[in-house]
Structure 1
Amino acid sequence: MNKAERLFQLTNLLRGRRTAITARTLAEKLNVSERTIYRDIQALELSGIPIEGEAGIGYRIRHNFELPPLMFNRSEIIALLLGSRMVQAWSDKELAGAASRAIEKINAILPDDLKALAEQQTLLVPDYFVNSKQSDISQAVRKAIENKQRIYLTYNRADGEYSERILDPLGMVYWGGKWTLIAWCHLRENYREFRIDRINSASPSDEYFQTSEQHSLDHYISLITYPAETDYS
């Protein structure tokens, strides 16, 4: 760990504490000597960070202190922008708007050299193939998941048959090409997967549900053994 990384971690350890933390404890957490901690505390104080405390007692940072915006290296900028562009292209309209605002905020704090990198369009995530109706359905499903709200679904099965279901929507998974709703199906009394692009309509009901250890996305994932067992019914 270089000094800059260590100072950043030290700052995070000291922020928002109600009680002071000793140099020995800090040294153990960062795997350095106490002497190094004393030097790092001094460096942080010289940089203007309001550290309270003293050697032999402990340290903390004043509770209302906020870190300035972080700077990113080239690889981190590429990763952040690529992820945001994927959300813009492959999620619903609300999340796409949030991703656009996030990109604007990232660009606002970048130095000129990294801003030029951010403006390069060498990693494209095209959105011209996204279906508007599918985006609306995806947003309705996501809201129902967040609210733990039961939904009424009309659906075209993989075999072409039309189906109607009452579901407890538990989560959405992007498999790399298609979004899939993971839900508890009241018709089958079991977990089922529903591809978003095959859903005709998704209407929230007035009923709500609760998740549990045996009724959740985590539980469903724990039951998956092989991808070949996927059931789009």
Structure 2
Amino acid sequence: MSRSIRLLNLLQLLREYRYPVTAQVLAERLQISQRSVYRDIETLRAQGAEIEAAAGLGFQLREDFLLPPITMNETEIEAIVLALNWLNYIPDQALKSASTSVLAKLNAVLPEHRQQLLQQTTLRAINVWLPVDEALVEQVRLAIRQQVKILVDYADEQQTISSRILWPFALGYFNDRIVLAAWCELRDGFRHFRIDRIQQLSLSQELYPQFKQQLFQQWWTQEVCRSTTDKN
């Protein structure tokens, strides 16, 4: 990791903490030494960052010097907070971490009078999800992003397991479950797969032959009005 990237990552971590955070915690999050943290803090200060140090408590970013203020009304702020809060409950650690990062960035760019509203908003979205392998969920998102085929062992309603080669192009978050929309080579058609029923998954290096947007549009036209229950 280059030092410039490390400095940006450190700045982002400081944004995420509303209270002082120790050099030890920052070092563990960034996987660097505490000595490097202290050096990087001084570098950021020299570049204009207002970072306070409290003895025994740690460091706190008081004013973000990189991001300009943006304007949002009360309803827009509530909508964003509600959506990001919902992300904190989904079984996907990467998206949970991303929601925390986005909230910290938002707090950094809002005018002071809007920051207070952001911190005081009490709208909440709470979901209870069926247990899934969070690493597997992240793999599915990665496959969709990269538009590569995946190989899965899938258990249907009767617990019959079949091996499939899929072209994953969309994920749907439905109440208590996550559903994958994909083209199934075995069935030669669109199918829906509950993530909690995928027993094993491996990423292929092979791109599927269409863009995910094209597959999504075809699926939307043919399947969106049908039930999203598993029909495999």
Give the shorter-chain TM-score range: 0.5 to 0.7
Displacement, 1:155?
1.6
Q: Is the 8 A contact 2:172 2:179 kept in 1?
A: yes
Q: Distance in 2 between matches of 1:227 and 1:107?
A: 41
**Could you tell me which amino acid in structure 2 is paired with residue 80 of structure 1?**
I
Matched residue pairs, number? 166
Displacement, 1:72?
0.8
Aligned equivalent of 2:170: 171
- Quote the sequence identity (%): 31
Per-residue CA deviation, residues 8-53 of structure 1 (Å, 9 max, x unaligned), is: xxxxxxxxxxxxxxxxxxxxxxxxxxxxxxxxxxxxxxxxxxxxxx
Q: Is the 8 A contact 1:195 1:232 kept in 2?
A: no
Aligned equivalent of 1:211: 210
Aligned equivalent of 1:220: 219
Taking structure 1 as the reference length, what is the TM-score of the superposition?
A: 0.62
Displacement, 1:211?
1.3
Displacement, 1:182?
0.7
Q: Distance in 2 between matches of 1:194 and 1:73?
A: 39
Q: Distance in 2 between matches of 1:125 and 1:215?
A: 32
Q: Is the 8 A contact 2:83 2:125 kept in 1?
A: no
Q: Is the 8 A contact 2:127 2:176 kept in 1?
A: no
Q: Distance in 1 between matches of 2:212 and 2:100?
A: 36
Aligned equivalent of 1:118: 118
SS of the equivalent of 2:123 reads coil
Taking structure 2 as the reference length, what is the TM-score of the superposition?
A: 0.62
Displacement, 1:163?
2.2
SS of the equivalent of 1:227 reads coil
> Which aligned pairs between 1:85-164 and structure 2 lie closer than 5 A?
85-90=85-90, 92-120=92-120, 122-126=122-126, 131=131, 133-164=132-163
The alpha-carbon distance between structure 1 residues 75 and 92, as it changes in their structure 2 partners (threshold 3 A), is same
Q: Distance in 2 between matches of 1:213 and 1:122?
A: 37
Larger deviation: 205-214 or 155-164? Answer: 205-214
Q: Is the 8 A contact 2:148 2:205 kept in 1?
A: yes
**Could you tell me which amino acid in structure 2 is paired with residue 154 of structure 1?**
D
Q: Distance in 1 between matches of 2:89 and 2:130?
A: 7
Q: CA RMSD in A?
A: 2.8
Larger deviation: 84-93 or 148-157? Answer: 84-93
Larger deviation: 213-222 or 79-88? Answer: 213-222
Per-residue CA deviation, residues 81-113 of structure 1 (Å, 9 max, x unaligned), is: 111222232252222222211100111233444
**Runs (5+) with no aligned partner, structure 2:** 1-66
**Could you tell me which amino acid in structure 2 is paired with residue 195 of structure 1?**
R
Q: Distance in 1 between matches of 2:81 and 2:69?
A: 17
The alpha-carbon distance between structure 1 residues 144 and 102, as it changes in their structure 2 partners (threshold 3 A), is same
**Runs (5+) with no aligned partner, structure 1:** 1-66
Aligned equivalent of 1:56: none
Q: Is the 8 A contact 2:128 2:176 kept in 1?
A: no
1:182 matched to 2:181:
yes
Larger radius of gyration: 1
Q: Distance in 1 between matches of 2:222 and 2:105?
A: 40
> Which aligned pairs between 1:41-56 and structure 2 lie closer than 5 A?
none
Displacement, 1:219?
0.4
